[in-house]
Amino acid sequence: MRALVCKELGTAQQLSLEDNWPDPTPGPKEVIVDVKAAGLNFPDTLIIAGKYQVQPELPFIPGAEAAGVVSAIGEKVTNVKVGDEVIFIGSHGGFCEKATVPAMMVVPKPPKQSFLQAAGIGMTYFTSHYALKQRANLQPGETVLVLGAGGGVGITAVELAAQMGATVIAAASTQDKLDLAEKMGATHLINYTSEDLRARIKDITGGKGVDVIYDPVGGDITETAFRSIAWKGRHLVVGFAAGDIPKLPINLALLKGASIVGVFWGAFTQAETAEHLSNVKELWGMFAQGKLSPTVTDVFAFEDYAKAFDHLTGRLARGKVILDIDGSQT
């Protein structure tokens, strides 16, 4: 099978697309998924650089999420069968034609979604839903500032926050990203490369500040945003797409009565599995009702993986970046 393999830690340009990587066989509690499409995420860049929380032994196949069809199951697997259309999420293993996946990490493909759409649902929607529902306890009528609102995870936060009855302020670096955010439910738009973020937030909220900050960006903008948080606001630490882990003057949290809240969806699925499965059921219901519509704007052929990673790390993506693994989806 074809597989994208990490043989040495570094950048995506150091990965190797192998044409004859050994076909896998499932263990007793594993399934084999014939991968149709796979989503790219910033944690993929961290794991191939050796900087992620979970680090597999070399060589390994990166790729945290994908969609496809079950082609084989282990003898103790009962939750899926051969022929089922599924998605899966893990730390790695998705950038190949035949992925070996623990059965517990496989869920049915959401209704009405193509493989290209489904391949980008897991990390983004699951993370944003958990962040806004469990970590922020977002309430209807509250105001949410979404940083990096045009990216894969940010755009799902915009969409979900709007569905939850919040007023959404989308902040992004380009007008085309802001246009997409507006389409997905944002009420107010801020281009933080050309506008004063704090001044615009003050104007939009009448000086109150924002109740929730959804922050997958990090870097210098984190402190700027936090200084605009409302009394008892919640700052969600989702990721560090800017590359730098910010340092906040902790007295700001005291003065604002505010909370800095970590969002680690992967750990949540293990520590609170029943709650995670309840979230999946709720999200799948929203997909079935047509309330959510995954945004896939950038699709790359498998062999163009380096270009796809450059698109992601260059923060050029609007919505989700997807690899067409088997070449049949575009």
| Cα(286)–Cα(157) distance, integer angstroms | 14
Pure H helices in the chain: 42-48, 115-118, 122-130, 152-163, 175-183, 197-205, 221-226, 251-256, 265-271, 273-288, 305-313
Please report, for the chain, the start and end positions of each structural domain, with discontinuous segments joined by +: 3-121+295-324, 125-266
Confidence class for position 217, pLDDT limits 50, 70, 90: very high
Token pair 């163009």 is found at 304
Average pLDDT over residues 177-196: 95
Q: What are the pLDDT digits (tens) for 236-291?
A: 999 988 878 899 999 999 999 999 999 999 899 889 989 998 999 999 999 989 89
Give the position of tokens 């700052």. Answer: 235
* CA proximity to 171, closest of 153, 143, 192: 192
Query: Does residue 105 contact residue 94 with C-beta atoms inside 8 Å?
Result: no
Residue 35 pLDDT greater than 70, yes or no: yes
d(CA 302, CA 231): 47
Q: Which amino acid is at 300?
A: F
**The predicted structure's pLDDT at residue 330:** 64
Taking only the tens place, the pLDDT of each residue in 82-140 is 999 999 988 899 999 999 999 988 999 987 889 999 998 988 999 999 999 999 999 99
The neighbour count for residue 266, using CB atoms within 10 Å, is 18
Q: Are 33 and 323 in contact (CB under 8 A)?
A: no
Mean pLDDT within 51-79? 93
At the second CATH level, the architecture of 3-121+295-324 is Alpha-Beta Complex (3.90)
Topology annotation, domain 125-266 = Rossmann fold (3.40.50)
Residue 317 above 90 pLDDT? no
The number of beta carbons lying within 10 Å of the beta carbon of residue 231 is: 11
Annotate 35-50 with DSSP letters as a single string: EEEEE--HHHHHHHTT
Q: Is 161 exposed, middle or buried (0-12, 13-18, 19+ CB in 10 A)?
A: buried
Q: Which residues of 306-320 are buried (b: 16+ CB within 10 A; e: fewer)?
A: bebbbbbbebbbbbb
Q: Alpha-carbon distance 278 to 256, whole Å? A: 33
- Residue 37, pLDDT > 80, answer yes
Provide the pLDDT for residue 294.
85
CB 149 within 8 A of CB 186: yes
CB atoms within 10 A of CB 37: 28
From residue 293, alpha-carbon distances to 156, 181, 290 in Å are 9, 12, 7
